[in-house]
Amino acid sequence: MAWDFETDKDFQPLLDWMDQFVRDEVEPLDHVLDSPYDITNPKNRAIVPKLQEQVKKRDLWACHLGPDLGGQGFGHLKLALMNEILGRARFAPIVFGCQAPDTGNSEILAHYGTEEHKKKWLQPLLNGDIVSSYSMTEPHAGADPKEFTCKAIADGDEWVINGEKWFSSNARYATFLIVMVVTEPEANAHERLSMIIVPKDTPGVRIIRNVAVGMEHEGHHAYIRYDNVRVPKDNLLGRRGQGFVVAQTRLGGGRIHHAMRSVAQIRKAFDMMCQRALSRVTQGELLANKQMTQEKIADSWIEMESFRLMVLRTAWRIDKYQDYRKVRKDIAAIKVMLPKVWHDVAARALQLHGSLGVSREMPFAEQVMGAFRLGIVDGPTEVHKTTVARQVLREYSPYNELFPPGHLPVLREQARSKYAELVEMDVTNS
C-alpha cells in the first residue's frame, strides 16, 4: 500500500519552525504595518529584511524556485504544506520570498526571459529588492483574454502599447509590469496575445486609480492606461503570439498556493467559531450546546478538512505526473471549492459572534469579501465548473443501446446468463 498521510520526518521540523516563527514574528506585523509590497517604506525596511535574513539562514527563501535561482526546488506538496502556514499572515509570503504576483512573474522570467531580463529584473525580484505586477485583465473583458483590446504595435526597434488594464495588483509599488497585449490581431483567438515587460516609470504608463476591495483602507489594484508606451522589442517574453502559453507557466501551481493559504484563513475562522461557542451563554446555555451551533461546527469541519485533503491530493498529483494537463480537472475543482468553503465557514463564524462579528473589530467581514474575491481572480468560478464538467465527461463514452448502462432488467438477464449453469445445478441438487 502506497497511501500515506504523514509528513516526511525530515521536513516536519522545518514546518514546526515556520509555524512558531510566523506566529511569533510575522503575524504581529499585520497590525503595525500597511502593505507588504511597500518595500521602500521606512517602517517596513526596519523590520522585514531582518526577518527575511532569518528565513534565508534556514534555507526557506523562495522555495518554489530551483537551486539555480536560489531556491530549494520543493515540489508542490511541500509548498502546499508551507503555504498553509504562510496563509495566516499578510506579511508571511514576502518574508519567505514567495509573494504573488512576484512568484508567477519570476517563473515567467526564468522560463522565457533573456539573460539581460534575468539580470535586470529577475535577480532583484528574487532578492526581494523590488516587487512587480501582472497586468492582464481589462475593464470590459475581465479575465477572458480572447476579448482583450490593449495592443502593442511594432515600430522599428520598439513596441508601442495602447489600451487599458484593470486590477493590476500592487502596481503602485512595482518596479515593472508584465503586460498581456494583442500583437497578432488577425491570428486565431489563442495566438493573438503576447507578454511584454514594461518598466513602470516608462512615459505613458498612467495609474488612473488604485481600487480598494472590501475592508481595505486604500486601493492596491490598479486601473492603468497605457498611452503610446514605448519599450524595446527585446522586452518580449517568449515568441509573438505565445501569450497564452507563457501565462500557463504561472497559473497552475499558483492556484495550489492560493488554496492552501486560504485553508489557513478558513482554519482561523473555524478556531474562533469554536472558541466562541464554548465561551458565550445565551438563552440559559452555552452556544456549543445548541444543535444549530453544532450543525455549523460540524458542517464547517467537514468542508474544511475535505477541501484541505483535495488540495494536498492535487499537489501530490502535480508532483507525481509533472504535467498540469493531467491535473487540470483537479486544479479547477479546487478553484471552485475555495470561495464556497471559505465563505461558508467565515459566515458561520460571523453569525456566532453576533454584532461583534459584523464589526471591523473582527476579521470575518473581510474574510467573506476575500472569499468572493478569490471566486473571481484567476478566472470566475463558473468557468472552472465548466472545465471540471468537460474534463469529467471526457472519461466517459455515449451508449448506443436502447436502455442505458445500469438498466436493471438488462443486468439481471446478463447475470442469469453468466451463472445460468450454476443456478440450474443448485436448483437440481436442492
Do 81 and 23 lie in a common domain? yes
- pLDDT at position 343: 98
299 and 284 share one domain: yes
- 251 and 345 belong to one structural domain: yes
pLDDT given for residue 1 in this prediction: 63
**Mean pLDDT confidence for 104-115:** 92
CATH number of the structural domain spanning residue 374? 1.20.140.10
pLDDT above 80 (res 423): no
* 272 in the same domain as 192: no
Are 235 and 277 in the same domain? Answer: no
Q: How far apart are CA 358 and CA 377, in angstroms?
A: 24
Residue 249 has pLDDT above 80, yes or no: no
In-domain check, residue 62: yes
**What is the DSSP secondary-structure string of 280-340?**
-EETTEEGGGSHHHHHHHHHHHHHHHHHHHHHHHHHHHHHHH--GGGGHHHHHHHHHHHHH
Do 270 and 388 have their domain in common? Answer: yes
pLDDT at 27: 98
* Residues 143, 73 share a domain: no
d(CA 334, CA 314): 8
SS3 73: coil
If one compares 386 and 324, the residue with the highest pLDDT of the two is: 386
| 232 and 261 within one domain | no
- Does residue 383 fall inside a structural domain? yes
The band of 251, judged by pLDDT with boundaries at 50, 70 and 90, is low
209 DSSP β-pair partners:
223
CATH number (domain holding residue 223): 2.40.110.10
pLDDT for res 420: 86
Of 182, 213, 241, the last residue of a domain is 241
Domain that holds residue 228: 132-241
Residue 137 and residue 216 in one domain: yes
Q: How far apart are CA 83 and CA 36, in angstroms?
A: 16
**Boundary-marking domain end, from 51, 84, 99:** 99
- Does a structural domain hold residue 119? no
Q: What is the mean pLDDT of residues 160-170?
A: 96
Proportion of the chain in helix, strand, coil states, percent, rounded to 5: 55, 15, 30
- Assess if residue 415 is contained within a domain: no
- Distance of alpha carbon 215 from alpha carbon 378, whole angstroms: 21
Answer yes or no: is 302 within a domain: yes
Mean pLDDT of the chain: 93
236 and 309 belong to one structural domain = no
Report whether pLDDT(112) > 70.
yes
Average pLDDT over residues 73-86: 94
**Any domain includes 404:** no
Give mean pLDDT, residues 50-70. Answer: 91
Please state whether beta strands 151-155 and 158-169 pair in parallel, antiparallel, or not at all (unpaired). Answer: antiparallel
CB burial of residue 84 (10 Å; 0-12, 13-18, 19+): buried
Residue 22 has pLDDT above 70, yes or no: yes
Give the per-residue pLDDT at 217: 78
Domain count of the chain?
3
**Residue 143: is its pLDDT beyond 80?**
no
pLDDT at 253 over 90: no
Residue 116, domain member (yes or no): no
Residue at 389 is within a domain: yes
291 and 264 co-located in one domain: yes
Handedness of CA 344, 346, 350, 353 (dihedral sign): positive
| Residue ending a domain, choose from 190, 222, 241 | 241
Average pLDDT over residues 125-148: 92
Which pLDDT score, from 0 to 100, does residue 71 have?
Answer: 82
> Is residue 136's pLDDT more than 80?
yes
334 and 225, same domain (yes or no): no
Residue 426's pLDDT band, with cuts at 50, 70 and 90, is low
pLDDT, tens only, 83-103: 999 999 999 999 999 999 998
